[in-house]
A and B are shown apart, each in its own frame.
Chain A
Amino acid sequence: METQIIDRQTVEHLEKLLGDNFQVLVSTFEEDAIIKVSSARRYCDSQHWTELSKTIHSLKGACLNIGANQMVSLCLKIEAILRDENFTALDAIVDQLETHLIDLKVALHEIKVI
């Protein structure tokens, strides 16, 4: 089964936990994710690997908690590349991260509407 962009079960738990603050959480996550993906692109282009690693680690943590599992998978791939220092595929994966951010924003918007 294909991994969902956002895990429904996690979202339900968070809605229940946060109540009215759930919408604040979604907005905060979206703003944060946009900044972090943008930073990742910049660090990738400038080959600042340490900074890229920290940014991806932070993004992965936020995505884990909100259930953004496909974004988590991309973060894990980037972390593996940085660990192995085999950078050939890195640029393409960061591209995927940027593309996926658009899908994620749509999914988050649907959640907000719900």
Chain B
Amino acid sequence: MTLSNYKPNNRSNKKLVVLIADDNATDRLILNTIVSQEGYQVLTAKDGIEAIKQYKQGQPDIILMDVIMPRLGGMDAARQIKADSGSSLVPILFLTSLHDPDSLAACLEAGGDDFLSKPYNPVILKAKISAALRVRDMHQQLHRHNQNMQTEQQIAKSIFDKVAHFGQLDRPGIRYVLSPKSVFNGDSLLVATRPDGGLNCFIGDFTGHGLSAAIGTMPLADVFYGMTARGYQLSDIIREMNDKLYRYLPVNFFCAGALVELDNIGRKVKIWLGGLPDIVLYHKTSGTREVLESTNLPLGILSGQQFNPDVYVRDMTQGDQLFLWSDGLHEAMNDQDEMFGDKRVMDVFENSKEPTCIFDAILTSLDNFVGNIERKDDFTLLSVTMYEPEHTGLMTQLRPQPNDMSDQGSQDWSMEYRMQASSIRNYNPVPFLHKSLMEVQGLNSIHSLVYTLIAELYSNAIDHGLLKLDSSMREDSDGFSQYFNEREQRLKTLSSGEIILKFQHNVTPHGGALTISCQDSGDGFDYKRVLSEVNKQHAFSGNGLPLLLRITDALIFEKNGRKAIAQINWSDNVSSQY
């Protein structure tokens, strides 16, 4: 559209209103005539004060304002009108017989949108009014688009927050700060409990920030929550997250991140670190800290075949804290264009005398360094404190909850699942089996318990039956890592062996009974000795057999310890359980 054929946007067919403010009666008459002939409604004012009054009462679409007027000049009146008009644009054309550049520039600086020199040329006046109204319409259009965009962003953000930050960020032991640079955060923070009661956390930092960065979180969160809920292991989850981002993200777009898996008994942590700044594991009892470096590339860069997750396994006991942050933290700048930097973060650890205050001390140090400067990037800080299960309420989650008994689903049935060496090496059947068992409605109420039972039986069969690992390795403080590494090595080279899992469910007068037997092709073990030792220990003191004994109603061994048979009962009467 050209200027000459532009028609001001006037949807209501109401005449557009032009306010003429000039102290000269002759000028007002001439301008009034020209403007009226163009079909505009005219308001007039003899000075700046009248102009402001007319602006408030008449809400003109455009103002023609003389510069020098009695009582209040045009520039002062313009400043006040512009201040009152808020986000709406009311174009002001200054009428002036001034010709020096400084005076004309002052008109624009006072909020004028254009000026018109005397004597008035009707053709130029009409063209300037049209041009100013066109700018006003474009401004209104832009304002509407901006409002629509903000509304859409708020809706998208509420969906995004439900997906990306819906997890259990309020869980005991979790502290975090998510500092978005814009409406959307390019960092993601996901926390969820596994069916066995353990905890998974993910912190991610996408390339860039805002909507484009945040949108990548959606598929990531989908994988994280879905697979965590089904009990998949860390390596499976991180592999799937990488695959999904590799498929979805454009080139040069990736996600640095860390996936953390805390076990359900407060003893061990597994960490996958890819492209994120170094993280710190702070041991409460010794007061020592361990800095762990990223050993993997960020997510979304390597294909499924190339992706080979390298995972840290560390002992982490009650009160130990893990600190993770996105690069927005150490890249935060102060007014001297200096970065906060790794050293300042590490200094906080060095100087903190009270471990529980480290998180706040990092934030205080950052605030002191940055001051009031606007941050250039999102940053996220997360601390995860290990708690014994009873502190997090996880053990109570293992207890059955009342449920609706009206639809029980599958009732009396049995199934058998056999795995040979190659499957045992490469596949974790627990999520699949757990999901199948959940077809029994009543078992949903004890889903955590069932998951733990299958996982422990299966894990015992592999570890002690097929891999012949010695459980005493796990007793000393460094044992877990060593045990885990040995397990990985032996599992990789497992060439023969079989595990048979049998499941049977029967209806009882007030619920049902699930029996699981797990038989391996190993050499068996002296279960009588182990059971007698377990009975001497405190029942909370670990997983494996002690945990199985705690959560089952009956546990027996056959075939020289190669076959374990466990039974759990569920009931609609919660109080009868345990």
Using a CB–CB distance below 8 Å, which chain A residues touch chain B? 10, 13-14, 17-18, 21, 24-25, 28-29, 32, 54, 57-58, 60-62, 64-67
Contacts and interface: CB of A to CB of B under 8 A. Distances in A.
Contacts of A60: 97
A76 to B, nearest CB: 10
18 contacts: A17-B33, A18-B30, A18-B33, A21-B33, A24-B29, A25-B29, A28-B26, A32-B24, A32-B26, A54-B68, A57-B68, A58-B24, A61-B24, A61-B66, A62-B24, A64-B118, A65-B26, A65-B120
A64 B118 CA distance: 6
Contacts of B131: none
Interface in B45-68: 66, 68
Contact of B29 (A13, A18, A57): A18
A92 to B, nearest CB: 23
A17 B24 contact: no
Contacts of B30: 14, 17-18, 25, 65
Question: Which 3 residue pairs across A and B have the least CB separation, nearest first?
Answer: A64-B118, A29-B26, A64-B119
Interface of B: 23-27, 29-30, 33-34, 37, 66, 68, 70, 95, 97, 118-120, 122
Nearest to B121: A13
Contacts of A18: 29-30, 33
A29 to B, nearest CB: 5
A28 B29 contact: yes
A60 B23 CA distance: 12
A61 B97 contact: yes
Contacts of A65: 24, 26-27, 30, 118-120
B356 to A, nearest CB: 71
Given A24-B29, A64-B118, A65-B120, A58 B34 contact: no
Contacts of B97: 57, 60-61, 64
A10 B33 contact: no
B118 A61 contact: yes
A65 B30 CA distance: 8
A11 B23 CA distance: 21
Contacts of B37: 17
A62 B68 CA distance: 12
A61 B27 contact: yes
Contacts of B66: 61
Contacts of A58: 23-24, 68
**Of A13, A21, A25, A58, most B-chain CB atoms within 10 Å:** A58
B26 A25 contact: yes
A34 to B, nearest CB: 12
A22 to B, nearest CB: 10
Contacts of B118: 61, 64-65
B38 to A, nearest CB: 12
B25 A28 contact: yes
Contacts of B24: 32, 58, 61-62, 65
A17 B34 contact: yes
B29 A21 contact: yes
A13 B119 CA distance: 12
A65 B29 CA distance: 11
Q: Pick the most buried of A60, A65, A66: most chain B CB atoms within 10 A of its CB.
A: A65
Interface centre among B26, B29, B122 (most CB of A within 10 A): B26
A66 B30 CA distance: 9
A10 B29 contact: no
A62 B27 contact: yes
With a 10 A CB-CB cut-off, give which of B29, B95, B119, B120 has the most chain A CB atoms.
Answer: B119
Contact of B119 (A10, A54, A57): A10
Contacts of A67: 119
A71 B436 CA distance: 102
B68 to A, nearest CB: 5
A66 B33 CA distance: 14
Nearest to B97: A61
Contact of B122 (A17, A24, A29, A62): A17
Contacts of A62: 24, 26-27
A28 B25 CA distance: 7
Nearest to B27: A65
A17 B30 CA distance: 8
A6 to B, nearest CB: 12
Nearest to B66: A61
A60 B26 CA distance: 12
A25 B34 CA distance: 13
Contacts of B27: 61-62, 65
A8 to B, nearest CB: 14
Contacts of A66: 26
Contacts of A64: 97, 118-119
Given A17-B33, A28-B26, A66-B26, A54 B70 contact: yes
Contacts of A10: 119
B117 to A, nearest CB: 9
A60 B467 CA distance: 105
A17 B32 CA distance: 11
Nearest to A10: B119
